C-alpha cells in the first residue's frame, strides 16, 4: 500500500466512542484530502463529528474517552492512524500544529506564556534554552503580540482572549508545521477579534506555506478563509466543493438549510425571507443508520432516503454530494 500525492489524504475514517448508553459513531466513514498550501473548511453543527475528525488525526482525546479509530489518514505519505504513539508525538506540534477553541482554558495558567511557546520550539528543534527563547519572542511578534520580549514572562491571565488565541497560534506554528488544524478558533472570541484572528491565520498560511484545515460551525468564518469547503452532518461528509461553487450551487438539502442560516448583508431581507432554522434535531449516533442521516429533517425526503445510504457522487471537477437527488438537483 503506497501513500498519496496529497499532503493529507483521509480515507474511510471511522471514530467510535464508548459512551454510557452504547457506542457513539462520532465519525462514520469520512474521506477527504488536502494539498500543500490549501485551505479546507469543515462546516457543520455541533455534534456533526468535525472536531472529532481533527482530534482523531492526532489522537488527542481526553483520559476518560474510550475511543477507537479505523481507516487511513496519509500525511506526507505516512498513515497517521497506523503510527505508534512515539512516532505520532513527533508529528504533533511539529509537522501538524493545532489551535483549539477556548483560548481562556487552553493555556497553562501557571506557566509564563513565553515558556509555553518556547517549550513547543524546543520539542521540535535542537535549540538550546536561549535560542528557543529568542525564537519564541520572534513567534510572539509574528502573531502580533506587542512588546513580546517584555511580555514573555507574563502569565496567561494578563492577556485578553484574542491575545491568548494569538499565543495559541504561535505555539501551533512553533514547529514550522506543514498543516495547521484550527478547531473553532474564533468561536469563543468577540466578533471584532474574530476577524483579526482569521486574518492572522490567513496571513500565516500564505507566509509560512502551510495548509489549513479550519473547522467551524459558522459559514461566515469558513467563507472568509477557505478555498474549499466540506459539509459534515451526523458524522458523515454530505457535500464537498470549492467555496464559490458551494455558495452559489450548493447541492445537498442540508447545505441549503445551513446557507439559509447565514445572514447576508447584501441581500434584501424582505425579498430573501427570514433566517430559517432547519426543523428537528440531529440524530443520536448510537445505532447504525441505514439510510441518509439527514432524511428525518429533510423536506425533499423520499422512500429510498430511509433505506439506502447515499454515497458521495461527483457532480463536477471539484464538487460531490451525498444525496439521492444530487444530479436532479444539480440540473435545476
Partner 1 sequence: MILRRLRDGVVVLFVVLSVIFTLAHVVGDPALVFAPVDATEAEVEQVRRNFGLDRPFTERYVDYFGDVLTGNFGESTWQRRPAFDAVREALPDTIELTLVGIAIAAVTGSVAGVVAGARPGHLFDKVSNFWSVVALSVPNFWLGLLLIVVFAVNRGWFPTSGRFESYSIVLPAVTLGIVHGGRIFQLVRSATVEEVTKPYVTVAKSKGLAATAVLWRHVLRNSGLTMITIVGWEYVRMWGGAAFAIEYVFAWPGIGDTMIKAAHRQDFFVLQAAVIVAGVFVIITNLVVDLVYRVIDRRVAGG
Question: At closest approach, how far in Å is the CB of 62 from partner 1?
Answer: 5
- 7, 39, 81, 120: which one binds partner 1 (CB under 8 A): 120
Counting contacts by CB under 8 A, is residue 93 touching partner 1?
yes
For residue 149, CA distances in Å to 112, 153, 268 come to 12, 8, 49
Order of strands across the sheet that contains 228-233: 96-99, 179-183, 211-216, 39-43, 228-233, 236-242, 319-321, 313-316
**Residue of 109, 146, 273, 317 interacting with partner 1 (CB under 8 A):** 109
The answer to whether 92 contacts partner 1 (rule: CB under 8 A) is yes
Measured CA to CA in angstroms, residue 274 lies from 217, 222, 255, 268, 278 at distances of 20, 22, 17, 10, 12
User: Around Cβ 317, how many Cβ atoms within 10 Å?
Assistant: 7
111 sits near partner 1 (criterion: CB under 8 A) = yes
Nearer to partner 1, 111 or 199 (CB): 111
Residue with smaller CB distance to partner 1, 180 or 221: 180
Instruction: Tell whether residue 147 is a contact of partner 1 (CB under 8 A).
Output: no
- Binder to partner 1 among 100, 219, 254, 294 (CB under 8 A)? 100
31 binds partner 1 (CB under 8 A): no
- The interface region with partner 1, picked from 57-65, 247-255, 262-270, 289-297 by CB under 8 A, is 57-65
Q: By the 8 A CB rule, do 50 and 57 touch? A: no
Stretch that binds partner 1, among 169-177, 202-210, 223-231, 272-280 (CB under 8 A): 169-177
SS3 314: strand
Integer Cα distance of 116 and 118 in angstroms: 6
Positive or negative, the Cα torsion across 78, 82, 84, 85? positive
Residues of this chain that interact with partner 1 (CB under 8 A) are 58, 60, 62-64, 66, 89-94, 97-98, 100-102, 105-111, 119-120, 123-124, 153-155, 157-158, 168, 171-172, 174-175
Amino acid at each position: 500500500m503506497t501513500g498519496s500525492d496529497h499532503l493529507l489524504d483521509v480515507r474511510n475514517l471511522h471514530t467510535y466512542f464508548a459512551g454510557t448508553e452504547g457506542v457513539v459513531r462520532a465519525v462514520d466513514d469520512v474521506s477527504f484530502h488536502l494539498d500543500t498550501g490549501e485551505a479546507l473548511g469543515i462546516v457543520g453543527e455541533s455534534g456533526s463529528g468535525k472536531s472529532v475528525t481533527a482530534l482523531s488525526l492526532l489522537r488527542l482525546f481526553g483520559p476518560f474517552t474510550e475511543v477507537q479509530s479505523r481507516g487511513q489518514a496519509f500525511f506526507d505519505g505516512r498513515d497517521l492512524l497506523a503510527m505508534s504513539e512515539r512516532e505520532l508525538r513527533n508529528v504533533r506540534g511539529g509537522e501538524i500544529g493545532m489551535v483549539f477553541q477556548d483560548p481562556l482554558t487552553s493555556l497553562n495558567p501557571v506557566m509564563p506564556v513565553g515558556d509555553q511557546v518556547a517549550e513547543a520550539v524546543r520539542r521540535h528543534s535542537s535549540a538550546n534554552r536561549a535560542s528557543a527563547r529568542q525564537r519564541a519572542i520572534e513567534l510572539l511578534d509574528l502573531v502580533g503580540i506587542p512588546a513580546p520580549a517584555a511580555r514573555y514572562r507574563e502569565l496567561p491571565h494578563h492577556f485578553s482572549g484574542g491575545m491568548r488565541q494569538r499565543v495559541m497560534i504561535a505555539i501551533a506554528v512553533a514547529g514550522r508545521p506543514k498543516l495547521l488544524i484550527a478547531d473553532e478558533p474564533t468561536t469563543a472570541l468577540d466578533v471584532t477579534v474574530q476577524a483579526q484572528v482569521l486574518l492572522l491565520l490567513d496571513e500565516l498560511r500564505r507566509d509560512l506555506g502551510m495548509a489549513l484545515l479550519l473547522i467551524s460551525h459558522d459559514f461566515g468564518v469558513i467563507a472568509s478563509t477557505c478555498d474549499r469547503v466540506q459539509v459534515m452532518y451526523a458524522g458523515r461528509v454530505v457535500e464537498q466543493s470549492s467555496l464559490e461553487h458551494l455558495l452559489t450551487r450548493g447541492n445537498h438539502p442540508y447545505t441549503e438549510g445551513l446557507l439559509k442560516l447565514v445572514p447576508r448583508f447584501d441581500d434584501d431581507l424582505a425579498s430573501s425571507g427570514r433566517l430559517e432554522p432547519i426543523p428537528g434535531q440531529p440524530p443520536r449516533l448510537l445505532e447504525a443508520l441505514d439510510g441518509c442521516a439527514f432524511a428525518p429533517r429533510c423536506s425533499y425526503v423520499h422512500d429510498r432516503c430511509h433505506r439506502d445510504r447515499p454515497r458521495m457522487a461527483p457532480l463536477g471537477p471539484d464538487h460531490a454530494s451525498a444525496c439521492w437527488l444530487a444530479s436532479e438537483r444539480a440540473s435545476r
